[in-house]
Amino acid sequence: MSGLFAGTPLERPVTCEQCGAVLDACQCPRDSTGCVRPPASQPLIIRREKRRRGKLVTSVQGLDPVASDATALLRRLKSTCGAGGTIEDGVIEIQGDHRTRIGELLAEAGYPVRVIDG
Ligand SMILES: [Zn+2]
């Protein structure tokens, strides 16, 4: 099946507006509309919330569901905090009050974070 695309007229290469690479080679995170969404353009809100039976969780809101790997972030946050956690409707929830540590980790990853006292 070689030459499947042979003969296709080459279009002008489209380059990424963020890194300047040809789109095929671009590794920039993108949202569902194809726009570049680096962590710096995903402001996150970290807050403490009360769950059933008065249990405290730390929630992280504002992640782009496509441009961010929420599952990988959840794994990092769980091991950093030594706590369980889950993702509900795109919101990361870590058991316990770990706002400071989570805020530091996400800021290091490049996200603008706002920690809300609650
Ligand atoms: Zn790029």
Domains recognised in the chain with CATH numbers: 37-116 (3.30.780.10)
Q: Distance from the CA of 63 to the center of ligand 1, in angstroms?
A: 19
Q: Distance from the CA of 24 to the center of ligand 1, in angstroms?
A: 9
User: Which comes out higher in pLDDT, residue 10 or 99?
Assistant: 99
pLDDT band at 2 (very low <50, low <70, confident <90, very high): low
The CA distance from 32 to 24, in Å, is 17
Q: Tens digit of pLDDT for each residue in 46-88?
A: 999 998 899 999 999 999 999 999 999 999 999 999 999 999 9
Q: Enter the pTM of the model.
A: 0.82
User: What is the average pLDDT value for the chain, to the nearest integer?
Assistant: 90
The CA distance from 67 to 39, in Å, is 8
Q: Distance from the CA of 104 to the center of ligand 1, in angstroms?
A: 26
Residue 103 DSSP SS3: helix
Residues measured by CB to lie within 5 Å of ligand 1, the ion: 16, 18-19, 26, 28
